Structure formats: structure tokens, C-alpha cells
Structure 1
Amino acid sequence: MPAPLDFVHADWPAPPGVHALQTTRAGGDSGGPCAALNLGSNTGDDPERVAANRARLRAALDLPAEPAWLRQVHGTTVVDAAALDGTAPEADASATTRAGVICAILTADCLPVLFCADDGSWIGAAHAGWRGLAGGVLEATVACAPCPPSRLLAWLGAAIGPAHFEVGPEVRAAFVERQAQADVAFRRRSGDRWMADLYQLARLRLAALGLTRVHGGGLCTYADAARFYSFRRAPQTGRMATLIWRD
């Protein structure tokens, strides 16, 4: 029998009725490199096991609906989660004002970012790997909110940490050329290699928008192999889900 599911619950002062969390790899039916709660369908895992894992997630959380899964491409497209018809559109963020609709992001090192209005009237979720983050996926998601950024809260889920995210000069340039302050999020390693801090880069982008109530961050998917999947650590691996919905 699978182990119990384990979650990282969002540690933010969201209003009552807003539910936000990230799954870990514990508690599912997948085997091999995708063991155990793999929720990603594009991982080489048995589709029946993925479906069983998604069903177990719905049951464990008593979800009001199937999460609005996306076909993520490291871009900046945001879709209305309430308008999806069960198919997974090509997008990297979703948002909604409708109760009972679940915004969902799949990751295995990339940074999942959840949003909600301070009165709970709007929620969103963004997949912020370095390409999407540099390209403006957070800005695109915040732009969909029906209120100013000062009324939004954000939560940063588990992602690859700055001690393990080595990048080349092109990654640093993608951020620094757009926002000079981003230089503080890079630490030179050797030669032209840099260690990048996705959490700090996200906070800088959000602060520039006027969104300062940012919570979470600090959990490293690469360092904690027992709890999290990591694409950098093992290119064939599963995916965690980060979910947000409201009553």
C-alpha cells in the first residue's frame, strides 16, 4: 500500500477559503525514477500510474474538481483556468476568480509561484523556470489580476536552490540586461559560470511590480532527494504539483 501523501502547505496569510500547497514525491504508485507520486504525464512514466496518482491526490485533498493542468513550455502565456474544458493548453500560468477551480503547476526544479488577492477574490499560479521568469511570466500573471499588485500576496514553492543552480553567462545576461538589480542574485563560481538564486530573482521582479507581500522560498528540490523530484539531479524524474483554489 502506498505511503501517505506529504504536502508543503503555503505559509502565507491568505484569507479564509483559499487553499494552497505543493505535493512531494511521497505516497503514489509510480516506480523507478518517477517513484512515487509522479503527477506529470510527460515524464516517461506509465500513464495509468500517473492517472492513479492524480486520482489519489484528488481523494486525499477532497478536491472540488480536477486541477486545470497545463502543457508547460517555459513561456509567458496565462490562461483562464475556469475556461478549460479538460484539455491541457500550452501555457505556463493560469488564474481565476471562480470558486472551486484549481490552478495547477507541475515542477521538478523550476519555481512554482502562487498568487491571491488579499480578499480571496482572485487566485493564480505560475511556472517560473529561469526562461519563463526572465521572459516575464510573473508580470503576465499579475497583469491578469483585477486589482493592483499592492493587494496581492505571493507564495514561492520548492525549487532548485542557489547552492545547486549553476548557469552560464547567457542566463545572467537575460536577467541583468532587463533589471540591473538582478546582479545580486548571481554568485560567480568559476570562469563564466554562475550560481543563480531563483527565489531572489522572483522577489526582485515582484517588488518591481509593487508586490511586496511575498512568502515561502528556501526549500531546495535538488538537495532533498527523499522529498522532491529534481530534473538537474536526475533528468528522468517525476513532477510535483503546486495547487491553489478557493471555496
Structure 2
Amino acid sequence: MSTLKPNWQSASNVRSVTSTREGGVSKSPFSGLNLGMHVGDNPADVEANRLQLASLANMPSAPVWLNQTHSTVVAKVDAPTDTVVDADASFTTVPGVVLSAMTADCLPILLAAKDGSAVSAVHAGWRGLAGGIVENAMSLFESELQAWIGPGIGFDAFEVGEDVRDAFCTNHPEYTIAFKPHPTSGKWLADLALIAEMKLKSLGVDSVTQSGLCTFQDSTRFYSYRRDGQTGRMASFIWIKA
């Protein structure tokens, strides 16, 4: 089993980790460390994967899992819970509460107060990013924060229609640099990670770190819904050390 340590310098009491698909017990087409209960995998295999990962990452409690629907809802979490929370981001100031965001092409965005007082895990697909999921998560912080943008579908792989480009560029023409014409389809290629970074910086986050990793291109380490259709999920986690 392998995990990725986010390549940012967070406060000493903030812990973060991102899973890959490597390791785990799930069978084809979810082969590897699938953490998603909602994708059709054997629930016992998913639970085994989750337990293995929590142990490997030395998590202080079981992660808080989200029922993600590409919404802009951010849940405030005050204690560990086994209840799946209906939201696309979570936020806490409580040490020992492990937040999560599942992905398989969408961006995981981890936010942390620079003083270590609060953290958030955000699932950011294009709909949530355009709709305000980042703004909603940031609004819960009371101090200066930093961000890490994890593995997601890359610029050369994320083909979108005019509607997606319009969702970002109609009111914010500066985002046009994050789109380029697809060479053959007549559609657009979108740099979702760049859009996320531009948005965060425009909202005052001066410390934004990119993983630079593409889920679509790296089938060994990452699940990709665009590449494979039926597939598993990775997750990114963040918590405040007690």
C-alpha cells in the first residue's frame, strides 16, 4: 500500500495524507485500495481498505466520510462520526477529527489555518469550483490559511464543452488562460487545478501548493472516472493533531 504526503509546509500540528490505488484488497474493476462505498465494490473489501489505510496513516479516529454530490455544501464537524455526511467539503477546529474528500479526477483541496487552528477538506469538481465550494469553505476560517491542491485530471485530459468554459469565464475572463481548444473534437481542454489556484489566490490565499499529478495519465497510482468509467476512489485526509 502506498500513500502520498502533500508537498506543503503546514503547521506542525496539522497532518495530511492522500491515498493512491496501490495496495488494498478490491477486485477488478476497482483493483487496489478503493475507498468508495458508493461505486459498486464489495463493501467488506472497502471497509478492509479503509481500516488498513487508517492504520498506515496513524489516524487518531475513523475518517468522516462525505456523500458528495458536486454541491457547494460545507459541513462543520465537531466530533468523529460514523454517519456519512451530506456535503462536498468539511471543516473542523477540533483536534483528532479526520476530514476526507474522495476523488477520481475531481480535485481534492486541503485547507489549513497557518496557525494550525482549523482545517478543511474539499471535493472540487468543476461544478463545485464554479459554484462556490472553495469560498464557502474559506468563510469558516478566522485566520490566514494555506492550500494544497491534490491529484486530479490534468490539462491535456480534461475535455469539456462550451458550458463549462462559460461557467468560469463569463464573469471572470481571467480564467480564459485555463482553457485551450481540443486539437480534434472542437471542444475545450480545461486546467482545473490552475482555476483552483487562481481562485484561491484571488481570495487572499498566498500559499497555494500544487501536487502537479494527473489522475487520468497515471493508471498505476490513480483511479480515473474519465479514463475507466466504473472505477474506485482515492481520498485526501487532513486533521489537527491532538
Which of the five TM-score ranges fits, normalised by the shorter chain?
A: over 0.9
| Deviation of 1:80 (Å) | 1.2
**DSSP 3-state at the match of 1:181:** helix
Aligned residues: 240
Residue in 2 that maps onto 1:21: 17
Cα distance in 1, alignment partners of residues 240 and 225 from structure 2:
30
Indicate conservation of the 8 Å contact 1:199/1:217, yes or no. no
Partner amino acid, structure 2, of 1:162: F
Indicate conservation of the 8 Å contact 1:81/1:102, yes or no. no
Q: 1:241 aligns with which of 216, 235, 239?
A: 235
Residue in 1 that maps onto 2:43: 47
Deviation string, structure 1 residues 58-79 (Cα, Å, up to 9, x no partner): 1112211010100000011000
Counterpart check, 1:170 vs 2:156? no
| Deviation of 1:81 (Å) | 2.3
Partner amino acid, structure 2, of 1:17: N
Partner amino acid, structure 2, of 1:168: G
Residue in 2 that maps onto 1:143: 139
The farther-off stretch of 200-209 and 77-86 is: 77-86
Indicate conservation of the 8 Å contact 2:169/2:176, yes or no. yes
Cα distance in 2, alignment partners of residues 95 and 225 from structure 1:
31
| Deviation of 1:83 (Å) | 4.8
Residue in 2 that maps onto 1:92: 88
Residue in 1 that maps onto 2:122: 126
Counterpart check, 1:59 vs 2:55? yes
Residue in 1 that maps onto 2:219: 225
- TM, length-normalised to structure 1: 0.94
- TM, length-normalised to structure 2: 0.96
**DSSP 3-state at the match of 1:116:** strand
**DSSP 3-state at the match of 2:237:** strand
Indicate conservation of the 8 Å contact 1:169/1:192, yes or no. no
Cα distance in 2, alignment partners of residues 244 and 193 from structure 1:
36
| Deviation of 1:191 (Å) | 6.1
Cα distance in 1, alignment partners of residues 53 and 81 from structure 2:
20
The sequence identity of aligned pairs, in percent, is: 44
Counterpart check, 1:30 vs 2:30? no
Indicate conservation of the 8 Å contact 2:64/2:85, yes or no. no
Residue in 2 that maps onto 1:74: 70
In structure 2, the gaps of 5 or more residues are none
| Deviation of 1:217 (Å) | 3.1
Indicate conservation of the 8 Å contact 2:66/2:87, yes or no. yes
Indicate conservation of the 8 Å contact 2:80/2:97, yes or no. no
